[in-house]
Amino acid sequence: METPVSDRQGSQGTRRQAVRRAAGWALAAMLLMGAVPVAAKDSPVSLPAPRLGAAVPLQKLLSGRSSSRSFGSGSVSLQQAADLLWAAQGRSHGAEGRTAPSAGALYPLEVYLVAGNVARLEPGVYRYRPAGHRLVRTAAGDRRVPLAGAALDQPWVEAAPAALVIVGVYERTTGKYGQRGIRYVHLEAGAAMENVYLAASATGLATVMVGAFRDREVVEALRLPHNAHPLAVLPFGLPP
Ligand SMILES: Cc1cc2nc3c(=O)[nH]c(=O)nc-3n(C[C@H](O)[C@H](O)[C@H](O)COP(=O)(O)O)c2cc1C
């Protein structure tokens, strides 16, 4: 209950609070209805928790895994994007443990979501933060066309509603393991990439590993930091 206030400034403050509260509720209701993009500002976007309940036998996931370069025209949901991001690098065990192993637990991989047509998410480039299972927008606008250009104009990169891009920050691992660390980072990217394929297989999404791209152009197209080495591009969407 609001305590009534007699002075003018106090009652204005109370009115302001009430208006703010009403606006907050209205925004929350619109978000629930999917009426406005979640990332209206540059605040982090909390992702829906990954769906862990689906009991699909591993053998079935493996036999269902395949590369698909055709996508339906509709959007993907934030849940579907969240499931793939979590599969790539989500926190899963212990204080720091992730879904993919990491040499020396140094975690040199970063995963970006290139969102073009993701429900309730403004088009843009988002960095996945495993801690908190959140997204932080790093570039605004739909970057699928320049990404496809960097990937030698492979049409499925542009046609998919979204893509994951796995990048390696080599120095996190070479600082401990020297040049051998490069090999470790590549192995880790392969593990993360296969996790994405299996999660897509489990959730009925289509994806393909794209490795043919010009590194520098990917960095520029997505406005990535200059020490980020793109290793895998995974366009994804609903099957046609
Ligand atoms: C390292 C690597 C790079 C790849 N690069 C591309 C690519 O640039 N474009 C593409 O369409 N597919 C690419 N693929 C997907 C392969 O073409 C695909 O895995 C292969 O045809 C076997 O088909 P499957 O994945 O359905 O079993 C790549 C796969 C790997 C493992």
Which atom in ligand 1 lies closest to the alpha carbon of residue 66? 26
Determine the Cα–Cα distance for residues 160 and 141; give it in Å rounded to an integer.
15
pTM: 0.86
Quote the percentage of the chain above a pLDDT of 90.
78
Q: Which two tokens stand for residue 73?
A: 């025209």
Q: Of 3 and 22, which is predicted with more confidence?
A: 22
**CB neighbourhood size of 90 (10 A):** 23
Question: Residue with the nearest Cα to atom 2 of ligand 1?
Answer: 211
Residue 52: the pLDDT is: 81
Q: What is the mean pLDDT of residues 53-78?
A: 93
Task: Indicate which residue's Cα is closest to atom 21 of ligand 1.
Answer: 67
**Domain 45-237: homologous superfamily in CATH:** NADH Oxidase (3.40.109.10)
What does the domain layout of the chain look like in residue ranges? 1-36, 45-237
| Residue 75 CB less than 6 A away from ligand 1 | no
Instruction: Give pLDDT, residue 39.
Output: 55
Q: Which among 201, 208, 213 is the best mutation to test ligand 1's pocket, defined by most ligand atoms within 8 Å of the CB?
A: 208
Task: For ligand 1, pick from 157, 209, 210 the residue to mutate: most ligand atoms within 8 Å of CB.
Answer: 209
Output the CA–CA distances (angstroms, integers) from residue 45 to 10, 121, 149, 168, 231, in the order listed: 34, 9, 28, 23, 25
Predicted confidence (pLDDT) at residue 77 exceeds the cutoff of 90: yes
Q: Residues 127-177: pLDDT tens digits? A: 999 999 999 999 999 999 999 999 999 999 999 999 999 999 999 999 999
pLDDT at residue 38, rounded to an integer? 57
| Digit-coded pLDDT (tens) for 191-236 | 999 999 999 999 999 999 999 999 999 999 999 999 999 999 999 9
In this prediction, residue 56 carries a pLDDT of 86
Mean pLDDT, the chain, whole residue set:
88
- Alpha-carbon distance 182 to 103, whole Å? 11
**Helix 180-203 and helix 78-89, axial crossing angle in degrees, nearest 10:** 150
